[in-house]
Structure 1
Amino acid sequence: MAKEDFYKLLGVEKNASEAEIKKSYRRMAMKYHPDRNNDNPEEAEKKFKEIKEAYEILSDAKKRAAYDQFGHAGVDPSMGGGRGGAESFSDIFGDVFGDIFGGGRQQRSSVQRGADLRYNLELTLEEAVGGTETTIKVPVLVICGECSGSGAKPGSSPVTCSTCHGHGQVRMQQGFFSVQQTCPTCRGAGKQIKDPCPKCYGQGRVQETKTLSVKVPAGVDTGDRIRLAGEGEAGVNGGPSGDLYVQVQVKDHNIFTRDGAHLYCEVPISFPTACLGGEIEVPTLDGKVKLKIPAETQTGKLFRLRGKGVKPVRGGAVGDLLCRVQLETPVHLTKDQKALIEQLAESLSGGGKHHSPQEHGWMDGVKNFFDKLTG
């Protein structure tokens, strides 16, 4: 009797994603589980096994590729399948010549390390520079508490694979060559789960949301990573858990801009202060400090406050705070104030001295340019 199309069994399209296939499998497995079909348990068990076989093929990238190309023949061990067109030439080459010279490949271990995970953590500049401790919530695969990771229903246990008889690999004859490959039924584990756990559906892992505490060291910057060992996905068949990497992203600040260990900011100064000099208050991450402004300071001048920057997370000298002063033009002037400024303008324009060094330098440049043009 011809097998039903695996995609139809799971009720998905051929271009379905891995997530869609997994979601549909869980729904179908719950629907046809023998324990939930007391009226016709034999028919339900048959359907359940067909769904499980379809999921085992379509959830494996290589097997799915072989199935898409060759159909059931591409994944049927009795027809030389299982790897089909998805297997690389180097795999077949190694299997064939390994058998000829008595080597062969050893059984692949079913124990697998869990996947590493990444979490993006946004911090304020103050938190990044001073360090902080925060809690995060991470969805992660953990060992199923119902079956303790075995994937088998409580009270049962995995059985020896009927295809490879527990070896994890099958040997097939191709002409006069003997080819050894991973067992397509148990995927090299050597065991099968006849009665899957109702909580994890035979996967041995379930998804939960972990709440973790993260200590952020002082001086971190955008792009830095904090590693939380063993907080990634749980391993398979007793394998170690992966790690969680917390990726730091520092938010833009409304006053400061950071460049490595240095901080930059712009500070407004009044016209009288720029002309006559004085003291202004400058913000820092530790509070306000006094900055002395010399007389005749031009707008855009950069002042350095040493040691008011960032201490690098990997060590080194504390950076500086660099303040760029910007001349603030007064607005909403009274009639008397305008008159005083007009008097000042007349006073500055009189006499032989130049009272506007930037304008004077710019005008000299223009004059020299035209002198060269006219010869």
Structure 2
Amino acid sequence: MNDYYAELGVTREASVEEIKRAYRKKARKLHPDVNPSPEAAEEFKRVGQAYDVLGDPQKKAAYDQGVDPYAPGGGAGAGFGGAGFSFSDIMDAFFTGGAAGGGGGPRSRVQHGQDALLPLDIQLATAVFGGEQELTFDTAVVCSTCHGDGSRPGTGKHTCDVCGGAGQTQQVQRSFLGQVLTSRPCTACQGYGDIIDSPCFECDGNGRKRDTRTITIKVPAGVDTGTRIQLRGEGEVGPGGGPAGDLYVEVRVEKHPMFQRQGDDLHCSLELPMSAAALGATVPFETLDGSRDIDIKAGTQPGDVITLKGLGVTRLRTDNRGDLLVHANVRTPSKLTAEQADLLRQFAESRGEDSPAPKFQPVNQGLLGKLRQAWKG
């Protein structure tokens, strides 16, 4: 005689609910869709027979008296089709509590919206100081006609006649194990459990539509090309008017006609006449912070760097700023009047440079090389 209590792992004093829970647990583990091994298939069959007997009060009482309906001559049909065996129990075993095969119940029409990624072009001054900037973009918004319901105003939804609101349909199939119940999303309602009587003409029942939005974005000081700003809840609205996803804005800093950025520092070139470089001078200079006077030391050489502290880019999430580095570019006059040339010759003679001795050196890297060195430092 088969020991059905041992098959289910319960005692003889187990309640009907305890027997049912034990069967569900084993059936989920042993079902061919989950465990295709021949051993599992055989055990699944034995577990089904055990529940067929112990799950039926009359069969259980007879079994406790020594009558096994699955013993040779016991009178029960093979498989799971004996009297007292409910196909809904298989359904419970596989579609309750997140078991294999998918969760039970209808799908929700309300779903979370997707995130979106958009570029934002800003000027260098905005990257340095921060600021606000408007961004206009196309996205999914809640339908203004049905307000996310999906139904035309004045209409509604009705329970699906095919699945009865369950969102799933069941089908009994025969296999070498006997009869197995499977469940699939209802094709009539697409698994929602209800059907929209008259879809909204504006969103076609989706509860959302495409539209153009304009929002104001706060750009923090110190951003650079590639920096992403996250705006929670500003992404696309989900189907059924569901919660919106997040919007990610990727910054692109436009090129400036004068300044080049390297990290938190700004670089630029200042053209100086030869006389100013030799004698020194004070020149006005328009920075991003306004006009500043730059002191040119006497004897300034081409490529010398004048550092203006704290006039660079704000360091992200701090109040500190980098520097503004001005690279001197000394301009030698190419056209001289006779008088100017004579004066320059007199100047050269006074310095003993009228017949200079050649002094060759390795090629000067020039401004570009000095910029690279400054950037690396």
TM-score interval, normalised by the smaller of the two chains: 0.5 to 0.7
1:106 is matched with which residue: 82, 103, 108?
103
Separation in structure 1 between the aligned mates of residue 186 and residue 336 of structure 2, nearest angstrom: 88
Deviation by residue 1:324-375 (Cα, 9 ceiling, x = unmatched): 1111232443222233334445666648987x8xx54449xxxxxxxxxxxx
Change (3 A) 1:279 1:167: same
Query: Mean Cα displacement is larger for which, 98-107 or 121-130?
Result: 98-107
Deviation by residue 1:34-80 (Cα, 9 ceiling, x = unmatched): xxxxxxxxxxxxxxxxxxxxxxxxxxxxxxxxxxxxxxxxxxxxxxx
Change (3 A) 1:109 1:349: farther
Q: Is the 8 A contact 1:150 1:158 kept in 2?
A: no
Q: Kindly report structure 1 stretches of 4+ aligned residues shifted beyond 6 Å.
A: 95-101, 351-354
Deviation by residue 1:223-242 (Cα, 9 ceiling, x = unmatched): 22233322222222352112
Match of residue 251 from structure 2: 248
Match of residue 157 from structure 2: 158
Separation in structure 2 between the aligned mates of residue 295 and residue 93 of structure 1, nearest angstrom: 88
Match of residue 114 from structure 2: 115
1:189 is matched with which residue: 182, 188, 192?
192
Separation in structure 1 between the aligned mates of residue 319 and residue 164 of structure 2, nearest angstrom: 61
Structure having the higher Rg: 2
Secondary structure at the counterpart of residue 273 of structure 1: helix
Q: Is the 8 A contact 1:267 1:282 kept in 2?
A: no
Q: Is the 8 A contact 1:110 1:188 kept in 2?
A: no
Deviation by residue 1:189-232 (Cα, 9 ceiling, x = unmatched): 22222321112122211222222222222222222223332222
Structure 2: segments with no counterpart, 5+ residues: 1-31, 41-89, 364-377
Separation in structure 2 between the aligned mates of residue 197 and residue 161 of structure 1, nearest angstrom: 19
Separation in structure 2 between the aligned mates of residue 240 and residue 273 of structure 1, nearest angstrom: 65
Aligned-residue sequence identity (percent) comes to 38
Change (3 A) 1:161 1:279: same
Offset at residue 293 of structure 1 (A): 2.9
Match of residue 367 from structure 2: none
Separation in structure 1 between the aligned mates of residue 124 and residue 321 of structure 2, nearest angstrom: 16
Match of residue 225 from structure 1: 228
Separation in structure 1 between the aligned mates of residue 35 and residue 214 of structure 2, nearest angstrom: 46
Separation in structure 2 between the aligned mates of residue 145 and residue 362 of structure 1, nearest angstrom: 73
Separation in structure 2 between the aligned mates of residue 252 and residue 167 of structure 1, nearest angstrom: 59
Amino acid at match of 2:103: Q
Secondary structure at the counterpart of residue 165 of structure 1: coil
Q: 1:189-338 maps to which residues of 2 (within 5 A)?
A: 189-315=192-318, 317-338=320-341
What is the TM-score when the length of structure 2 is the normalising length?
0.62
Amino acid at match of 2:126: E
What is the TM-score when the length of structure 1 is the normalising length?
0.62
Separation in structure 1 between the aligned mates of residue 204 and residue 140 of structure 2, nearest angstrom: 14
Separation in structure 1 between the aligned mates of residue 35 and residue 291 of structure 2, nearest angstrom: 73
Aligned pairs, how many? Answer: 269
Offset at residue 309 of structure 1 (A): 0.7
Q: Is the 8 A contact 2:208 2:240 kept in 1?
A: no
Separation in structure 2 between the aligned mates of residue 172 and residue 135 of structure 1, nearest angstrom: 56
More helix by share: 1
Q: Is the 8 A contact 2:206 2:240 kept in 1?
A: no
Amino acid at match of 1:292: D
Q: Is the 8 A contact 1:125 1:253 kept in 2?
A: yes
Amino acid at match of 1:146: T
Change (3 A) 1:229 1:362: closer
Match of residue 124 from structure 2: 125
Q: Is the 8 A contact 1:113 1:236 kept in 2?
A: yes
Change (3 A) 1:332 1:351: closer
Separation in structure 2 between the aligned mates of residue 255 and residue 116 of structure 1, nearest angstrom: 37
Change (3 A) 1:298 1:93: farther
Offset at residue 281 of structure 1 (A): 3.2
CA RMSD of aligned residues (A): 3.2
Query: Mean Cα displacement is larger for which, 264-273 or 141-150?
Result: 141-150
Query: Mean Cα displacement is larger for which, 312-321 or 179-188?
Result: 179-188
Secondary structure at the counterpart of residue 325 of structure 2: strand
Q: 1:329-348 maps to which residues of 2 (within 5 A)?
A: 329-345=332-348
